[in-house]
Structures are given as structure tokens and as C-alpha cells.
Amino acid sequence: MSECTSNCSSCSQSDCASRKNDFKVEQNAFSSIKNVIGIVSGKGGVGKSLVTSEMAVLLQRKGYKVGILDADITGPSIPKVFGVHEKAEGNDRGIFPAETSTGIKIISINMLLEDEEMPVIWRGPVLAGVVKQFWNEVLWGELDYLLVDMPPGTGDVPLTVFQSLPVNGIVIVTSPQELVEMIVKKAYNMAKQMNIPVVALVQNMSYLACPDCGKKIYLYGQGNGKETAEKLDIPSYSELPIEPVIAKLCDEGRIEDFENSYLADVVRYIETI
């Protein structure tokens, strides 16, 4: 056996332990996706799907072609937020994503189930396989941005997305509780180990604005999201307040009607990467 030169590209030894595996999955032949952005969180219940949805709407309003891959297989919420309840259809080329009222393309496990309220009780490898299918079997067409709404934590599905999809960057969503820094660092360190840049931190449920005087009320404490972003050198940071009107829009499937621009800075930064 010849001496290792550490140059895997010119090496013919296929079983070398030093060779790095490439787990990337090819796009569907009828898809052309320019940028893939993952939206992640260290824990559940912080509003990750809301941030994904609002980012998609803001990008679409700027004239971009946008899609959402709902990778939260056991807890999908993207179709309901956009008011999409029809089942996915396909042909011998692949699966057609649904389109929202403004033209955002989405795919979710709910669109493949007979009853969208039935639980998905699958093990990790099966969940990961579905995410790969959403990438290479869905006919996305031309997209400027595909946003991937991931389940919380650092388990099988986030690992599959990071390894299998050409992710350009991730947005971490968190809340103001005192454990925020530790939880953010888990997601941050996973991305760094996978050589994927963290492009933004969003602190959701940061405050409630008094409807009479506009004073900010910090129900969960003021939080240290901004300080965490600065400490970790995350280039973009935004805060979302608690807004009952947004919850109502999500419940009614009308998230595309929201009017705030709290995520404008994050979206502007994503346009530059």
C-alpha cells in the first residue's frame, strides 16, 4: 500500500479510514435551488416554524422564489400556518409541492397522510429517509431560497439535513429563559462541527407590548439573546415580541397576511450570503 499523502481527491484507495464520506443527496433533476437555509432550535416550543414562515413571506415579498421543506416530521405545522390542507400529488418525475396563496411552495408529511391529525410514530432512520425524499423526489422547480424547518435538538433529522443537503447557513431560534445560552450553544456547536455557518439568532417571545402605552413587558425576563449572538460572533440578530394577532393568523392559516418586519435585518443578511 502506498504512503498516505492526505490528498483524498487523488487517492485510489476506496476503503481508507481517512477518506471523508460525502453524504450529499442529489437534487431532483427538475429542481434548481440556489440557496438552502436551515432553521433550528436547541429545544422545542420556541417558535421555529413561525420564524420559518415569516422569513419565507418576507423573502417572497422581495420578489424571490421561495420554498419550505417541513423537516419536522413528527410535529409538522407549516401546512396549517399557511392554510394548506390538500394532499400532495405526483407523477413519474416526482412529487408536486403545494403552493400557498402567494406562491410559496411547501412540502410536509401532513400532505402525504390520509388524516393530518394522525401521529407519525417512526424511528429516526425512517424520519431521515423522508427528509431525503423531500429533497430529491419533490419537483421544486426554480427556487432562490429553500427554507428547511427542522425539529428541535441535535438528533437524526438535523444531522441528515446538515450532511445530505447543501445548506448555506442556519438560523437559530430561541427564547428568553435563563438557559438560553447553553441551549443556543448546542445548536451552534453542532453547526460548527458540520462546517455550516450560523447566520442569525432570533429570540422569540422576547416581550409583550402594552396595547395602551406601548411599554415593553418582559414576561420571561429580558433574556440575553443579543449578548449571546455577540459572544458567538453570529452576524445577525432579531427579537420577536409576543403578538396575539400573529397567533390568530397562524390558527386561521393566514400567516401571509402578517404586517410586522421584525425579521427584516435577518432577511437582509441572508440575501448577502
| Coil vs helix vs strand at 208 | strand
pLDDT per position as a tens digit, 108-159? 999 998 888 888 888 888 999 999 999 999 999 999 999 999 999 888 899 9
* pLDDT band for position 214 (cuts 50, 70, 90): confident
How much is the pLDDT for 237?
96
**Quick check: 212 pLDDT over 70?**
yes
How much is the pLDDT for 187?
92
CA distances from 206 to 67, 216, 239, 242, 244 (A): 27, 9, 6, 7, 14
pLDDT per position as a tens digit, 67-116? 999 999 998 999 999 999 989 999 989 999 999 999 999 999 999 988 88
* pLDDT band for position 21 (cuts 50, 70, 90): low
Mean pLDDT computed over every residue of the chain: 89
How much is the pLDDT for 19?
42
